[in-house]
């Protein structure tokens, strides 16, 4: 049994709703408050709405799924078309690369031959430049040999960076960006410049560069040959004026080759112009070295640089007897005990007291020429010694027929005294060649 106390319309009553439940002898009372009724109504409403939405979803799901799948199919078809277009373009580029590959490889081989030819010349050219520098041709101020033929560590190491990029493409290491432009969207891209076109441009630059290097080599070799020829001619002219035998070119070549060689004579092969120019430079340098060594062994140096000449070579009044006499040397003012050095390398043939010379040293320089150093206070060498230009042979003094401390310096050619000033003056002209 249920009993409800009502006062007006349901839901607006001021009193609470009481539900009485009776079962046999047991009676239960349940009070229904307004908010409890509101919750129950809301719950029922939410449940009804969810039920309606679920029913609608189940009804419309098949249509939504079908539409989504159709849209995805259309997108996939569009992407497949774009990918097919890109693949076709890549295939065209690859086909062109295959067609150009043989041409590019032939050009690479040709450039490698040129590079190897330049590199093979580097050893000979470097040795000749070193010889030219040691011969006083100022090779230091010129472009070094390394600039004419760079060092190589492998067959492809010497190629420029652009050439190496082409090599990577030929080897299959090129990235897609090397073939097609960078694109964030998959769209058809027009064909770019082909690898063959880039290779032609790069090969042209490299070929011009190699030709420039070769031309600089030729110009340098030609200039050195001219300089060496002019220098050897200048030295030879000086030696000829002093009646000193100048070695012939054949003797020069033999002197330059200190190894044991031989074999039958065979006509030379027809080499290129560059090899012939290297041979001419080698001959010119050999000639220059020979005459330069000959001049360096002779007394063309000043024995007393910056010293005052107290008595020149020639006839003069003798300081002891007052009569006219030949002064066979040149006297230089020296301080007591000052070091005396030879004017050229040679072998000591006299070292001791020699009449009016007092303590005197005579040095044989070959080619019939010797020098004498007299009036020294002390001799520091002995007969048989080999001396150089920087060695000290004695100390200045005033021994023998001398009126004061000085150095008496003589130059004798084939036993006859000649004016040392001639040799000193010639040495000034030869300074740039033999120093």
Q: How far is CA 377 from CA 305, 397, 401, in A?
A: 20, 4, 13
Rounded to 5°, the CA angle 55-59-64 comes to 125
Q: What is the pLDDT of residue 138?
A: 59
Rounded to 5°, the CA angle 101-106-109 comes to 125
How far apart (Å, rounded) are the C-alpha atoms in residues 393 and 343?
11
Q: What is the pLDDT of residue 309?
A: 93
CB atoms within 10 A of CB 78: 11
Closest to 399 (Cα-Cα) out of 363, 361, 357: 357
Model pTM greater than 0.85? Answer: no
Q: What is the pLDDT of residue 266?
A: 62
Q: What is the pLDDT of residue 188?
A: 45
How far apart (Å, rounded) are the C-alpha atoms in residues 428 and 301?
8
Beta strand residue intervals within 307-354, DSSP E: 309-311, 314-317, 324-327, 330-333, 339-340, 346-353
Q: What is the pLDDT of residue 388?
A: 93
Contacts of 395 (CB under 8 A, 6+ apart): 337, 338, 339, 340, 376, 377, 378, 380
How far apart (Å, rounded) are the C-alpha atoms in residues 433 and 138?
10
Summarize pLDDT for 41-94 with one digit per residue, the tens: 898 889 899 888 888 877 777 777 878 888 888 888 888 888 988 888 888 877
How far apart (Å, rounded) are the C-alpha atoms in residues 148 and 196?
29
Answer CATH for 309-434 from 3.10.20.30, 3.30.70.2700, 3.30.300.30, 2.70.70.10: 2.70.70.10
Summarize pLDDT for 247-289 with one digit per residue, the tens: 665 455 554 455 565 667 665 555 567 778 888 888 888 888 8
Counting as low any pLDDT under 70, the low residues of the chain are 1-17, 19, 21, 24, 29, 32, 100, 136, 138-199, 247-263, 265-272, 435
């Amino acid at each position: 049994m249920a009993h409800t106390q009502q006062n007006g319309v349901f839901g607006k009553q001021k009193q609470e709703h009481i539900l009485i439940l009776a079962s046999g002898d047991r009676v239960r009372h349940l009070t229904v408050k307004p908010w409890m009724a509101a919750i129950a109504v809301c719950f029922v409403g939410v449940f009804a709405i969810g039920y309606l939405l679920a029913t609608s979803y189940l009804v419309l799901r098949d249509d939504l799924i079908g539409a989504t799948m159709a849209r995805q199919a259309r997108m996939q078809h569009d992407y497949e078309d774009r990918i097919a277009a890109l693949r076709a373009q890549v295939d065209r580029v690859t086909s062109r690369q295959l067609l150009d590959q043989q041409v590019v490889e032939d050009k690479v081989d040709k450039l490698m031959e040129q590079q190897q030819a330049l590199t093979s010349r580097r050893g000979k050219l470097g040795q000749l430049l070193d010889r030219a520098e040691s011969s006083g041709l100022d090779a230091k101020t010129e472009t070094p040999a390394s600039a004419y033929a760079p060092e190589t560590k492998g067959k492809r190491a010497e190629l420029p960076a652009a050439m190496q990029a082409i090599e990577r493409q030929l080897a299959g290491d090129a990235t897609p960006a090397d073939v097609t432009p960078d694109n964030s969207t998959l769209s058809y891209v027009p064909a770019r410049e082909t690898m063959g076109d880039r290779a032609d441009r790069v090969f042209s630059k490299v070929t011009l560069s190699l030709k420039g290097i070769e031309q600089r080599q030729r110009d340098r070799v030609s200039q050195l040959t001219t300089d060496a020829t002019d220098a050897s001619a200048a030295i030879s002219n000086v030696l000829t004026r002093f009646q000193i035998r100048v070695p012939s070119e054949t003797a020069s070549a033999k002197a330059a080759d200190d190894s044991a060689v031989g074999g039958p004579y065979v006509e030379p092969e027809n080499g290129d112009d560059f090899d012939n120019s290297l041979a001419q430079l080698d001959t010119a340098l050999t000639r220059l070295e020979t005459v330069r060594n000959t001049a360096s062994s002779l007394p063309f140096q000043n024995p007393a640089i910056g010293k005052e000449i107290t008595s020149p070579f020639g006839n003069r009044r003798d300081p002891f007897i007052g009569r006219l006499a030949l002064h066979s040397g040149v006297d230089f003012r020296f301080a007591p005990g000052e070091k005396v050095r030879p004017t050229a390398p040679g072998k000591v043939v006299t070292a001791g007291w020699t009449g009016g010379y007092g303590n005197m040293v005579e040095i044989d320089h070959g080619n019939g020429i010797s020098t004498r150093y007299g009036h020294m206070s002390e001799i520091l060498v002995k007969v048989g010694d080999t001396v150089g230009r920087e060695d000290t042979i004695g100390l200045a003094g005033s021994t023998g027929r001398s009126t004061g401390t000085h150095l008496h310096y003589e130059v004798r050619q084939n036993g006859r005294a000649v004016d040392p000033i001639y040799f000193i003056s010639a040495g000034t002209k030869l300074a740039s060649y033999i120093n």
